[in-house]
Amino acid sequence: MSETAERKGTHMYDVAVIGYGPVGMVTAALLGQAGHDVIVLERYPTLYNLPRAAIFDDETMRTFDRLGLSGTLLPTLHVQRNYEWRNSAGELLIEHDFAAVGGQGWAEWYMMYQPYLEDALDRLVRGLGNVEIRMDSKVTAFHDAPHGVDVQVEGADAVVSARYVVACDGGNSFTRDRLAVGQDDYGFSEPWMVCDFRLKEDGGADIPKARQVCDPRQPISIISLGPEHHRFSFMLDSAESFPVEREPDRVWARVAAYVDRSQADLIRVATYTFRSLVAEHWRRGRILLAGDAAHQMPPFLGQGMCSGIRDAQNIAFKLDAVLRGADDALLDTYQSEREPHVRAIIAKGIELGRVQTVRDPVAAAERDARLIAQREANGRPEKMRFPGLGPGLRDASPQAGHLMPQGRVESHGTEGLFDAVLGRGFVLLVDGREGASLDASTTAEATRLGVGVHHLTDRRLTTEGFTDVGGVYGRWFDESGTTAVLWRPDFYILGTVASLTDVPALLKTLATAVEPTQAPAIVGERIRP
């Protein structure tokens, strides 16, 4: 316990999470489920209760399933199979295709109403006895302490003391500003008016579920927010025009070609400036930035919230190791891994955004002709592909840093997705279809490190291990030419080996990063005054 905490009788938490949006909620839930003592500090007195994000992907759904929320969420979601970009004449320019079951075992694109997601996450977090939530708690300062960080809260007599702080406090992050962290601005900044509607039961509205209207006179984004809600977004000529354009009659006139007052209720009109920013530093000593506090991106790929939840996954399993005694230099791999991934998504989002927002009619006609020709030449819809992680907790194998797919498996009479049947965390998977298996000493070392060991087997050869119901893992081993793969709690591959004799070296890579050190120490930059 720090001297300040002792003096004021303050409890020492393992982690203080600042901000209680989806990224802060997931961070608190992951750390709470790992057994750590967490406090959440949220500046507002209640949940935001209005939609902001609209979309998440199969990787994010895999995280929600890890938290135990997939069953609760599914009835509130819409699974979207395509994403259209059409010109003012209705001609198809770009089409992205999404699978009903993607590489992570879930649909590749879900449309959601964010308040439903936040309600589910809030119930989960409040059900964890080791997570404390303090609403109406505005953070005003940070101070170094011998064993962590003292966080000053407005109007509070006592500070909140924690070993680490994860700041999920949004694009206008107080934490980032207080730490004097600069931002790299890509220069893509546009004002849009966002209009959300609640669809009336049996209203008969037939609205495109996921469409970008590339009309130089008025670029429009149309997105489903799940079964009961819909969003229209309109690019504005300037932010100053918003007070006039937000008037309900003007909004209804804008959407008249798609929906009328008998079919829906207008529930929200807001203005957003789409930005493209990356914080220069995602860590200052024992304080880490996550979500919009670390990066902001245009919405054209639907990856803003997803990127923040990837941050939460990356931070959570590394903080878990550090709180159990690992060298906190492990936390330096957070930015080195996540930043290249985020920057690639921002660059692609800007590329698509510039396609969407061409305002010159001649340039728009040239764009249309080029994109139609490209689409006809390809002959099939495009697939969205995201890069792997940057350097960090991974080996040099080609597969390292990429997501490990998830398929359906059967083990001892139970069938389902791998995570549900065989567990989560660090996983070592061995291709045992030809009878190969780890020796006892290597298995014992993996177990000591908390790694779950599983063998993909051929039912004809053995009743041990598990069988590959959909063939996902067999195909992956055949295509990768590997014999064993070790993946992390965030589902990214730490490393692979071609021979089982190399598994001990793979485990050593993990052990070096996560095993307790003799004398854990605070490292990194000090908090700025």
At 8 the pLDDT is 46
Report the distance separating Cα 183 and Cα 115, nearest Å: 29
At 385 the pLDDT is 84
At 383 the pLDDT is 79
Q: Is the pTM of this model over 0.85?
A: yes
Q: Which residue is it, tokens 């996921």? A: 210
At 205 the pLDDT is 75
Report the distance separating Cα 133 and Cα 46, nearest Å: 11
Phi/psi class of residue 497: alpha, beta or left (left: φ > 0; alpha: ψ in -120 to 50)? beta
Phi/psi class of residue 525: alpha, beta or left (left: φ > 0; alpha: ψ in -120 to 50)? beta
Residue 523 DSSP code: -
Report the distance separating Cα 281 and Cα 176, nearest Å: 9
Report the distance separating Cα 110 and Cα 102, nearest Å: 12
The two three-digit tokens of residue 162, written as one number? 């924690």
CB 457 within 8 A of CB 492: no
Q: Which residue is it, tokens 């992390």? A: 488
288-311: b (≥16 Cβ within 10 Å) or e: bbbbbbbbbbbbbbbbbbbbbbbb
59-97: b (≥16 Cβ within 10 Å) or e: bbbbbbbbbebbebbeebbbbbeebbbbbbeeeebbebe
Residue 276 DSSP code: -
The two three-digit tokens of residue 510, written as one number? 């993990």
Q: Residue 493 forms beta bridges with which residues?
A: 487
* Residue pLDDT tens, the chain, 529 long: 334 444 445 689 999 999 999 999 999 999 999 999 999 999 999 998 888 899 999 999 999 999 999 999 999 999 999 999 999 999 999 999 999 999 999 999 999 999 999 999 999 999 999 999 999 999 999 998 888 999 999 986 788 999 999 999 999 999 999 999 999 999 988 899 999 999 998 767 789 999 999 999 999 999 999 999 999 999 999 889 999 999 999 999 999 999 999 999 999 999 988 899 999 999 999 999 999 999 999 998 999 999 999 999 999 999 999 999 999 999 999 999 999 999 999 999 999 999 999 999 999 999 999 999 998 998 777 777 888 999 999 999 999 999 999 999 999 889 999 999 999 999 999 999 988 899 999 999 999 999 999 999 876 555 567 899 989 999 999 999 999 999 999 999 999 999 999 999 999 999 999 999 754 444 444 454 4
Q: Residue 321 forms beta bridges with which residues?
A: none
DSSP string, 102-145: -TTSS-S-EE--HHHHHHHHHHHHHT-TTEEEESS--EEEEEEE
3-state secondary structure 164-178: EEEECCCCCCHHHHH
Report the distance separating Cα 250 and Cα 141, nearest Å: 44
